[in-house]
Structure 1
């Protein structure tokens, strides 16, 4: 674990601020996504949330590589996550397909944002207390929850289906994703999946396919990735029931 810097270490080099700058950039993407949401530019709004999710993984990596982890950075990251992956997706899905439900759509959007907030708060407490249990599932991470939450939007942008004619389905989906962010159950660990050298070529081909889809058909990739992620979440409980 990287050593946390404190004020007694002397002046902080500018490079040590890089992780926080990346976090702030991600926050800007989340806020700008809200702006494009209410301008009915759903492709830009959803795209900015995807970029924010990518940046969310980069700031932590930079903090570890640069030995720049700090309590301030952790709090900044958590606040940014709530805006980018709680508020912004809720606003996007609400404006996209939940406005015509006589207030019920707004309740679904509120529930999603609140579940994200609860998930982040529980994660922060668990991280400080170091009580995380390996092999247990303590809720879908906030970025993944956001990507699942905007699935009805990307399903429309990819040309597969427009669920706005069945807004109740969108509301139930959003509520279900919110529940997953605060759920607790056993699931599979991707770290336990070992890749042999014989299968390495297939992994490389799959990675090339993923990169190609991300660059050329981003919404198709998002829809496919969502299905795979939900299947992985369901596999753990299903495997446990089957014994």
Structure 2
């Protein structure tokens, strides 16, 4: 083989990393729109970044293009998109620029996201193919949970901007859940009983309807459902939530 041919890499092997970079750009652009007060656009970009975060790994596995480089790149992108951007967005949206106490909770959330991703990196090789749950709330899910006050306000359900301290506490709580030992479900663990198939299909139809009519209400409902699913694990782990 010629040296020049050995230096070349098939485009398909680069595709997962390109998708990861695209997600990182969405997260960074979300911060840009947060800075100018265009919160709805910023939230939409973070939702798209969360969708892309699941896509790059799937593409890498399908193309057999997984690599340590790609895994590290994905974690760096996740920290920006799900550890930094959500905290800044909630801070500007609900706490105001001069809220020093709120900024403390933004730092707590960012630090928790960093620790969560670092733990994931060092235990990545230990996760077997049959792993049925995550330990702690994953970073993308944590980002969506952190934005619950934003979803509630945009859906005109609760005006969270009138309770900045509550929004700050919520952000800190989500950060703690990200670094906790609470078992959270993995897609591999999902089992649907026969009687639940119809319910699931009906729920999907309702969700699709809300997506195009009341998307913020849909996102708030999804967050609340996820919180309800965490409650049993939190109850079982009470007294030893943190490592």
TM-score interval w.r.t. the shorter chain?
0.7 to 0.9
* 1:28 is the counterpart of 2:40: no
- d(CA) in 2 for partners of 1:117, 1:72: 18
* 1:103 is the counterpart of 2:109: no
- d(CA) in 1 for partners of 2:29, 2:201: 35
Of 141, 146, 155 in structure 2, the residue corresponding to residue 144 of structure 1 is 141
TM-score by length of 2: 0.87
Going from structure 1 to structure 2, the CA distance change for 1:203 and 1:148 (only over 3 Å counts) comes to same
Of 215, 220, 226 in structure 2, the residue corresponding to residue 218 of structure 1 is 215
Q: How many residues align?
A: 234
The answer on whether the counterparts of 2:93 and 2:150 sit within 8 Å (CA) in structure 1 is: yes
Of 36, 42, 45 in structure 2, the residue corresponding to residue 45 of structure 1 is 42
Unaligned runs of 5+ in 1: 1-7
Tell me what 1:89 maps to.
Answer: 86
SS of aligned partner of 1:67: coil
- d(CA) in 2 for partners of 1:72, 1:193: 30
Residue 64 of structure 1 and its aligned partner are, at CA, apart by 0.5
* 1:127 is the counterpart of 2:124: yes
User: Which stretch shifts more, 108-117 or 206-215?
Assistant: 206-215
Tell me what 1:204 maps to.
Answer: 201
- d(CA) in 2 for partners of 1:49, 1:60: 18
Tell me what 2:192 maps to.
Answer: 195
User: Which stretch shifts more, 149-158 or 97-106?
Assistant: 97-106
Residue 186 of structure 1 and its aligned partner are, at CA, apart by 4.1
* 1:77 is the counterpart of 2:74: yes
SS of aligned partner of 1:194: coil
- d(CA) in 1 for partners of 2:21, 2:190: 34
TM-score by length of 1: 0.87
- d(CA) in 2 for partners of 1:37, 1:236: 34
SS of aligned partner of 2:212: helix
Going from structure 1 to structure 2, the CA distance change for 1:120 and 1:29 (only over 3 Å counts) comes to same
The answer on whether the counterparts of 1:136 and 1:185 sit within 8 Å (CA) in structure 2 is: no
Unaligned runs of 5+ in 2: 239-243
Going from structure 1 to structure 2, the CA distance change for 1:13 and 1:133 (only over 3 Å counts) comes to closer
The answer on whether the counterparts of 2:27 and 2:85 sit within 8 Å (CA) in structure 1 is: yes
Alignment RMSD: 2.4
**Alpha-carbon deviations, 1:102-152, whole Å to 9, x = none?**
411111111101100000000100113448995665211000000011111
The answer on whether the counterparts of 1:188 and 1:235 sit within 8 Å (CA) in structure 2 is: no
Residue 229 of structure 1 and its aligned partner are, at CA, apart by 0.2
